Amino acid sequence: MGFSTRTLFLTVTLALIAFLASSSFTVDAQSNVADVLQKKITSLQAKAVKNKGVIELDSLAFDEVMAKPRNYSMAILFTAIGPEYQCVPCLNFDPEFKLVASGWSKLPDKTKMLFGSLDFKVGQAVFQKFGMNSAPSVLFFPPSDSISSNPLSDRYDFSRNGFTAESFANWVNARAGTDIKVRRPIDIVALAVKVLGVFALIGTIYLIYTKAGKLSSSKYLWSALSMIRNPPYTIQGRDGRPGFIAQGFQNQFGLETQIVAVLYAILTGSVISLIGVVPKIENPTMQRMAVWVSMGLFAFMFSVLIQIFRVKNPSYPFTLMF
């Protein structure tokens, strides 16, 4: 909490300073190019600071920002956040981009470099102008007086550098000569999960210790395992329905992992019930029912599992019940 109040305070102060500065400069002579530039960067900076470091652009604002001469570099994110575009990577990268931009707002000298973001909804003209047909992408525009290559050839390569803020910050720093540091806010949920995990581990050890261990830890391991790869949870299919099962043998989604984990849990559970629960039932009729239910569940879930496997590997020849 202290973190955000401090940011707020900083923002307000900076905005105030920027406002005062810009108003005092209006009185001065405007013919001076340096002053124009100074004014421009100051107002942009104020705009950026207000919005945690990112200047939201549309086609008009883009041209304004890009207008020559300019003495600052600019990293512009071309994105499509709206749900109608179904751009999962855009949604993934957005917070990371903002993280880097907020790292920028901690810099002592903010005049070298600015961050802008342009959504397809309001910036179609610019997308067309640059021949962009995929999002997200980030272009780096150096100052107008520098001898530089076409910004199109210097785009941030997601497949190589990845989606993390850290690598993006490195990319920006290498180009703009800035020293932006990424400070991730503490993720309370993740922290809680970790703390809980430690407690669960201690609890498990305690359970083993007291021999009351009925937890089969490996069952839970499955769900943990899938998280290693950090996969997308689900993905929108072509027809707009969410897809649960990733096509292809080596891919899997978060939800798919959970489905499979539940299947495994049920299968293991029915085996355990056949071994551990059924022989403890005194009533023969009840016992018979328990056996049939467990075994039925076992066979049914096994068939479901095989079916799911066949989605992934269509040439698999075996089936159980269906």
Partner 1 sequence: MSTESTSTVAKVLKPTILILIAIVAIASRLFSIIRFESVIHEFDPWFNYRTTQHLVKNGFYDFWNWFDEKSWYPLGRVVGGTVYPGIMVTSALIHNVLHFFNFPVDIRNVCVFLAPMFSGLTAFSAYLLTKELKDSSAGLLAAAFLGVAPGYISRSVAGSYDNEGIAIFLLVFTFYLWIKAVKTGSAFFGLMTALFYFYMVSAWGGYVFITNLVPLHAFTLVLMGRFSNRLYVSYSTFYAVGTLLSMQIPFVGFQPTRTSEHMAALGVFGLLQLYAFAELVRGYVSPKQFKTLLKGGIASVAIVSVVILTLLSLTGVVAPFTGRFYSLYDTGYAKIHIPIIASVSEHQPTAWTSFFFDLQMLIFLFPAGVYLCFKELKDEHVFIILYSVFASYFAGVMVRLMLTLTPVVCVSAAIAYSTLLDTYLEKSDHVLASSLRDAAAPSDTSDSKASGSSSKKPIPKGKTPETEPKPQPKSSATGEKKRFPIFNWDSRLVVILQLTWFLFMFAWHCTYVTSGSYSSPSIVLASRNQDGSQMIIDDFREAYYWLRKNTKEDAKVMSWWDYGYQMAGMANITTLVDNNTWNNTHIATVGKAMATSEEVAYPLLRRHDVDYILIIFGAVIGYSGDDINKFLWMIRIAEGVYPNEVKEANFFTSRGEYKVDHDATLTMKNSLMYKMSYYRFADLYGGNAVDHVRGARMPSEGPSLSVLEEAYSSEHFLVRIYKVKQPDNLGRNLKDATAFDK
**Which residues form the interface with partner 1 (CB under 8 A)?**
133-134, 137, 152-153, 155, 157-160, 205, 208-211, 213-219, 221-222, 224-226, 228-229, 249-252, 256-257, 260, 264, 267-268, 271-272, 274-276, 278-282, 284, 287-288, 291-292, 295, 298-299, 302, 305, 309, 312-313, 316-318, 320
Q: Is 91 left (phi over 0), alpha (psi -120 to 50) or beta?
A: alpha
Judged by beta carbon, residue 31 or residue 150, the one nearer partner 1 is 150
The least CB distance from residue 279 to partner 1, in Å, is: 5
- Residue 219 and residue 204: Cα distance in Å, rounded? 13
- The least distance separating partner 1 from the CB of residue 293, rounded to whole angstroms, comes to 10
Q: By C-beta, is 83 or 317 nearer to partner 1?
A: 317
Q: How far is the CB of 90 from partner 1 (least distance, A)?
A: 15
Q: Which is nearer to partner 1, 85 or 264 (CB)?
A: 264
Q: How far apart are CA 157 and CA 154, in angstroms?
A: 9
Q: Residue holding tokens 């210790």? A: 209
What CA–CA distance (Å, rounded) separates 21 from 15?
10
C-beta of 25 vs 309, nearer to partner 1: 309
At 220, phi and psi to the nearest 5? -75, -20
In angstroms, give the least distance from the CB of 268 to partner 1: 4
Considering beta carbons, is residue 11 or 234 the nearer one to partner 1? 234
- Alpha carbon distance 46, 11 (integer Å): 9
CB 96, min distance to partner 1, A: 15
Closer residue to partner 1, CB minimum distance, 236 or 313: 313
For the bound state, the minimum distance from the C-beta of residue 250 to partner 1, rounded and expressed in Å, comes to: 5
Q: Are 117 and 97 a contacting pair, CB within 8 Å?
A: yes
* Plot region of 118 (φ>0 → left; ψ -120 to 50 → alpha; else → beta): beta
Map tokens 């299947």 to a residue: 263
Q: What is d(CA 99, CA 187) in angstroms, rounded to the nearest whole number?
A: 13
